[in-house]
Structure 1
């Protein structure tokens, strides 16, 4: 997510889509594939592969920012400082080895992710192409939903009722539909903004969609503790809809949530959580609850989006 966002910010603010920009992007895609194919459940084994790949991608983006053809006074020096610090700490961690180096690597990624928040006033909002920015961050959400739907393939077997897959699929469709209403109808695309809330909220949104993928896999596993699964589903719903609503800071005035709507959303969440607790031991009950829960949230977003037409 961090690499994706830095790449998005670069193309949004500075890129001229020249050969070097595209080549850097393609190279990072190749490196990401290398990283993905060298992930092991034993972190000690994964440590070197993961951090070497991350160092390479950070270095590539650093060079893109450094050699951009935008020469006027701008905020790219802040990006260079953050990326340079992150790269240095990752390399230091690799040199020191797993036992000690892991802490330097963790610090590097925290700095890369968090430091822009403390330097936000340094970044020029005028350089942001906001409609393009909304479109770019939406792509990673689309990819996450695609992965969630692909994982429903586990439900297509002779032992699992087809309605299970249908209910989960419709739940995912409703979650995605709520996101589409937010990104296409509710958000005002024609504004000047740094887009910080949009960036960081999408990290949480993507995590919640990936958690929904895990929820779907665990739901069909009888060995998973039902109380744990209940908690995981509740966390997923909270993360997803809370950070969708957070993005109302970019909403058209007519589409902003009022107190009554906030109370409605909170009521939907509480009732959904209570009903989910009552049916947590029933796979079909949980699926029906999720479907109705997501439908209720979707209807609120749908009604709010209609205000954009006024």
Structure 2
């Protein structure tokens, strides 16, 4: 449609204010696919003349917003082609522009709460996270002895249990310090005590951890008691607590004390009967926290702090994966296998980094429980993928079971990434079509690995294509959303 037709339609719109109109957004078809410029259409039923430019001055517009709106006006001028608005024509309020509303929605996160100072991740928290890197490394050592055979079910279940325990300790500590942690001596001492006790747990985190049952479970129980005490201490002595805070802290004390009791009771039960009931304590702890959702929902977490803490642990866990693929860099290993293993690590990390930078709404109002649970499962998946890659580097380990393990862990990892979409900015909400495409790719990857995975080189190629295929699918969706406006973007 030429500019003359556009102007004629605008004249009609000013004469017949009662018309209705559907306007195609430049560059996007109704299903989100891209359009060439010559395919843009303005449908003939006009509801209201749409202003293209937006107001750039006013008391409610600060310097940063002024720059955004100036840039927006520049971009839509380019998108409008030869169609211009008369200079003497009044400009509507910014909220009156359809394009500006869309642009604002796709580029702005949820507003930060008023009178709220974002909680920064303290150096003591970063220091604390390092002990979890050590703990995960010692747990991974369970599989170091399997050079010629695939690990039995007992080893895999022990690995899952020990990882779930360590991640529960991290989750409970993070939840407490996100809401109630301060730069206080008692908080610092509490963190350092937990670090000390985690050394005892880590030293017993191996295939024969039942031989260290007492020291492992006593350390675990004391950590739960320590966090319960901090909740009680905060409830008893902290000022400015409302009823919601008090409810959360009381629930913390109840759940953590009950889990502490179950862990302690499991010690004599094991020695008397040989039955291990500590997994019951683990499950009770997770379920108890999830049942607190109602109270937590009334007091949203400091989400930027949560997001950063999770990002840092994900990065540290990928660091373990980088160490794990070192087995591919031996002289007897072909160049393709070490290149492909390195590319897999890069592709997986880029997908998470893309979501964190471009998709995640860093000011989301949420309890944070779901976000933490997703990351607990994701850390387990990343750590399991590290084990799968280590097993892949051992030629004597049967190929089929380790290929299946790789497929399962990769699938869980990407499902976790897709689950983060719940905490996304509005512009990146997945529709049914997008989800269907991604799950179709996952199904295709599984099928191809089952058919061709017996050849390690071919399996490596399929995995690399799968990882980067998913990553570029994420990029393409983001690019389609912002294509014509050229605002934001992951790769410049």
TM over 0.5, yes or no?
yes
Counterpart selection for 1:38 from 175, 197, 204: 204
Q: Does 1:135 align with 2:305?
A: no
Q: Show the 5 A alignment for 1:1-310.
A: 1-68=167-234, 69=238, 71-73=241-243, 74=245, 75-98=248-271, 100=273, 102-306=275-479, 307=481, 309=487
d(CA) in 2 for partners of 1:185, 1:121? 29
Which structure carries more helix by proportion?
A: 1
Task: Say how many residue pairs are matched.
Answer: 310
CA contact (8 A) 2:399 2:456 kept: no
CA–CA separation in structure 1 for the residues paired with 2:218 and 2:274: 12
Structure 1 residue 265 displacement after superposition: 0.4
Q: Quick check: which has more Rg, 1 or 2?
A: 2
State whether residues 40 and 46 of structure 1, in contact with CA within 8 Å, keep that contact through their aligned partners in structure 2. no
Preserved CA contact (<8 Å) 2:269 2:276: no
**Distance apart, 1:143 and its partner CA:** 1.8
Per the TM alignment, residue 305 of structure 1 is displaced from its structure 2 partner at its CA by 4.0
Is the CA contact 1:197–1:247 (under 8 Å) kept in the aligned structure 2? no
**Structure 1 unaligned runs (5+)?**
none
Question: How far did 1:26 drift?
Answer: 1.6
CA distance in 1, matches of 2:272, 2:279: 12
Q: Distance in 1 between matches of 2:321 and 2:460?
A: 15
2:336 and 2:250 map into 1 onto residues whose CA distance is: 54
Shift of 1:100: 4.2
Measure how far apart 1:99 and its partner are. 5.4
The structural deviation recorded for 1:6 is: 0.7
* Contact persistence 1:126–1:192 (CA under 8 A): no
For residues 300 and 382 of structure 2, the distance between their equivalents in structure 1, rounded to whole angstroms, comes to: 30
1:178 Cα deviation after fit:
0.6
Distance 1:23 1:287, change over 3 A: same
Q: Name the TM-score, length of structure 1 as normaliser.
A: 0.93
TM-score, length of structure 2 as denominator length: 0.60
C-alpha displacement of 1:195? 1.4
Task: Give unmatched runs, 5+ long, in structure 2.
Answer: 1-166
Contact 2:325 2:393 in 1 (8 A): no
